[in-house]
Structure formats: structure tokens, C-alpha cells
Structure 1
Amino acid sequence: MLTLLGAEFAAASIARGRHFLFYCLLASAALALSGCMPATTYVAAANPADPAAKTARTSYRSTIAPYTGLRPAAPAPWRDRNDAVAPQPKQDR
């Protein structure tokens, strides 16, 4: 019976992949360790029903505060604007 069970397990692990045994052991370890965890944890927080409970201050920050409108803008001649940003020609030494 034990030999048959071993043969079935070997065939199943080959069919499912090389790491089947590892995942089975990992799942069983996780289940075993989950029994050691506390069901609930105590969080020392303010009672939400208490009107005197201290809370963090709120503030308003605009999402478009750094925006400055650029219209209407008079178009400049393109040649002057291009010459202003073009590299200066090198002087002969």
C-alpha cells in the first residue's frame, strides 16, 4: 500500500511539475504556523464615537496652484526666437 502511494505521488509530482512537493510542504507549513497567530490584535486607537478624540488637522492644497495662464500671448517672429536660442558661432582664434 505504501509503495502504491509513493508511486502515485511520484507520478503526480512529475505531471504537475518539479516543485510540487516544495509547494505542498510550504502550504502545510503556512497552515501549521497560522494556528500560532492570534485571532485579533489590539490597536490602541481613538474611539471614533468619542467627539473629544484628537484628530489630525486638515489643510487645503490646490492641485492647480502653480498654474499660470499663458494666453493670450502675442506671437514673436520665428527668426528672432530661433536666433535667441541658437548656439553662438565660435570666434576664430
Structure 2
Amino acid sequence: MLMLLGAKSAAASAARGDHFRFNWLLLTAAVLALSGCMPATTSGAGADPADPAAKAARVAYRSTVAPYTSLRPAAPAPWRERNDAVTPQPKQDQ
């Protein structure tokens, strides 16, 4: 698909006499085609994934529902005491 687009652009550029756009598209197509030949990892990125002796992080299981505690059935509490427990205390200096 990219090569077809480059060919169409080259034909249009040749008709107009504009060779810079064709060269740019050809260079872009070559870079994209050659980028598939690059290795996925580099030597500075860490351990080689194909090395069976490479160290790896331990696998840990954490449940997503572990902290859940059921609140039903809950006995109703007196609302005035609960409200007074969470209200801010008045300042002493006033």
C-alpha cells in the first residue's frame, strides 16, 4: 500500500517536475521497510528475554476484592450521636 502511494506520488511529481517530494517519500518508505529488520531489544535495555538464566521479578497475586467487608445487615445507629462524632470541634480561642 505504501509502495503504491509512493508510485502514484512519483508519477505525479514527475509530471510536475517536482523530484523532492518523490525522494522524500522513497526515503520514508525505505526507512519504514528497514525498521522491521531492527531487533526488538537492544543490549542496553536489560536482560535478554531469550536467556533462561535471566532474573525476573516474582509473580504475586493480589485479589481485587480482598479488602471488601459486607455491611449488611447493619443495625441503624442513633443519627444525632453519629453526626456529633464527625462535626468539627469549635475553636477554643474565640
State TM-score, norm by structure 2: 0.42
State TM-score, norm by structure 1: 0.43
Of structures 1 and 2, the one with the larger relative CO (CA 8 A, separation 6+) is: 2
Higher Cα radius of gyration: 1
